[in-house]
Amino acid sequence: MNSKNILVFLLPILFLSACGKDYTPDEKLYISKIQKERVETDKWYKENDNSPFNKKGKVEFHPLKYFDADPSFVYKSKLNEFDKKDTVVVYGTKGEPRNTVRYGYVSIKRNGIDYKINVYESSGKEGEKYYSIWFTDKTTNETTYGVGRYLNFEKTDDPEYLYTIDFNMAYNPYCAYSSNYSCAIPTKDDYIDLAIEAGEKKFHE
């Protein structure tokens, strides 16, 4: 190996060392898993006929942008149901009102501060229930999409179940890529007073 190739080989190692992060073997496996999933996501968005880049008019694709995977943004929480589950109106990005139920919240702690994150219950076209987390934070409209970001949430019937709240999996709704879509806009009650530097960044600069 010549000196030029050695330098190219060592640069990523030197960069990681300079970051000063010392991950455990389990954390390294987790980061590798996230990186692999992101490659697969790019492939789906680029090639699948149902992706927002292909389904409602062709949109130019380029790889999605992310913060580096950070295991410190993974949390565990029970789902705390509200005693009174209010029906609230949220608006789509095309201005249409949508009724949804503020079902409960999950909680996280960062830097010694507790944060509550709302979980919403909605009904599909066939009456099936599904649950959503959408949020804004201190990165919104700076490094992340101006409307907000989403997290998938699969509810179980076990009240003691510990859910994984993984902000590395935070993603942009389809309207972030194409104006042909409308997506729910997080309300002021969905703001998290924290810079969540994890998950997906802005697609359009």
Q: pLDDT tens digits, residue range 53-103?
A: 999 989 999 999 999 999 999 999 999 999 999 999 999 999 999 999 999
Q: What is the DSSP letter of 145?
A: -
Q: What is the mean pLDDT of the chain?
A: 91
Say yes or no to pLDDT of 9 above 50.
Answer: no
Cα separation of the two ends of the chain: 39
Cβ partners under 8 Å of residue 46, min gap 6: 53, 61
Among 115, 90, 109, 113, which Cα is nearest to 100's?
90
- Confidence check: pLDDT of 23 > 60: yes
**Phi–psi pair at 115, nearest 5 degrees:** -130, 135
Distance CA 174, CA 167 (A): 18
Is the pLDDT at 7 greater than 80? The verdict is no
Q: Which helix (H) or strand (E) holds 42?
A: helix 25-47
Task: State residue 22's pLDDT score.
Answer: 86
The two tokens of residue 81 are: 């149901």
pLDDT confidence of residue 21: 77
Which string of b and e fits 121-148 if b means at least 16 CB within 10 Å? bbeeeeeeeebbbbbbbebbeeebbebb
Q: Using the predicted structure, report yes or no on whether residue 25 has a pLDDT greater than 50.
A: yes
Residue-wise pLDDT tens digits, 128-163: 999 999 999 999 999 999 999 999 999 999 999 999
Sign of CA dihedral 122, 125, 129, 134: negative
> What would the pLDDT profile of 162-188 be if each residue is shown by its tens digit?
999 999 999 999 999 999 999 999 999
Domain residue ranges of the chain, discontinuous segments joined by +: 3-190
